C-alpha cells in the first residue's frame, strides 16, 4: 500500500481499478468500462499511471506509445482534488515515458467544451492541430492537439 502523503505517480495495477472507475464515472458522462483500463494495464504499448496521495488513488492517465507517436487516451482527477496540479503531474510522467519509448510527438483529443483541459494542455505545450466534427456521441466536436517531445 502507498503511504506517501504528497501526491506521487506509479504504474496502474489491477487493484486500482475500483478507485479508477469511481474517478472515471465522476468525470465523464460516457465513461470507459473497467475492461478498457484492464486492457491498458495488460497492453504491450500502453503505460497507465495513477496519482496516489495518502494511500488513495486520486487520478490517472493512460498513455499509448508506438514508434514516433504517443497518445494520451484518457486522463482524469478525482473532483475534490482538481486544480492542485495532479493532472500536470500525471501528464509530465506520460511525457517522460513516451520519450523513453522513442516518441517524438504526443497527441490527444479533448472535448471542445472542456476549456479547463484545453487551457492546461496549451500551458504544457500542446497546440491545436484539427477538429473531429461530432466525435463525442455524434454531437460534440473533439479538438485534436499535439505536442513535440524532442
Residues designated as active site: 109, 121
DSSP 1: -
The strand order across the sheet containing 46-53 reads 8-11, 46-53, 56-66, 69-77, 105-111, 140-148, 127-136
CB atoms within 10 A of CB 114: 15
Q: What angle do CA 134, 90, 82 make, to 5 degrees?
A: 75
From CA 56, how far away is CA 51, in angstroms rounded? Answer: 8
Quickly tell me which residue has 460516457 as its cell: 30
Tell me the three state secondary structure of residue 100: helix
Specify whether the backbone of 125 is left (phi greater than 0), alpha (psi in -120 to 50) or beta: left
Amino acid at each position: 500500500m502507498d503511504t506517501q502523503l504528497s501526491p506521487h505517480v506509479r504504474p496502474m495495477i489491477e487493484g486500482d481499478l475500483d478507485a479508477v472507475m469511481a474517478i472515471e464515472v465522476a468525470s465523464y458522462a460516457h465513461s470507459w468500462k473497467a475492461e478498457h483500463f484492464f486492457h491498458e494495464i495488460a497492453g504491450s504499448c500502453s503505460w497507465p499511471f495513477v496519482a496516489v496521495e495518502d494511500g488513495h488513488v486520486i487520478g490517472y492517465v493512460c498513455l499509448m506509445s508506438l514508434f514516433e507517436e504517443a497518445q494520451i487516451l484518457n486522463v482524469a482527477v478525482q473532483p475534490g482534488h482538481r486544480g492542485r496540479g495532479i493532472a500536470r503531474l500525471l501528464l509530465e510522467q506520460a511525457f517522460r515515458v513516451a520519450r523513453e519509448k522513442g516518441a517524438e510527438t504526443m497527441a490527444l483529443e479533448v472535448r471542445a467544451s472542456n476549456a479547463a483541459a484545453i487551457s492546461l494542455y496549451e500551458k504544457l505545450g500542446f497546440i491545436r492541430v484539427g477538429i473531429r466534427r461530432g466525435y463525442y456521441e455524434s454531437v460534440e466536436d473533439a479538438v485534436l492537439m499535439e505536442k513535440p517531445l524532442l
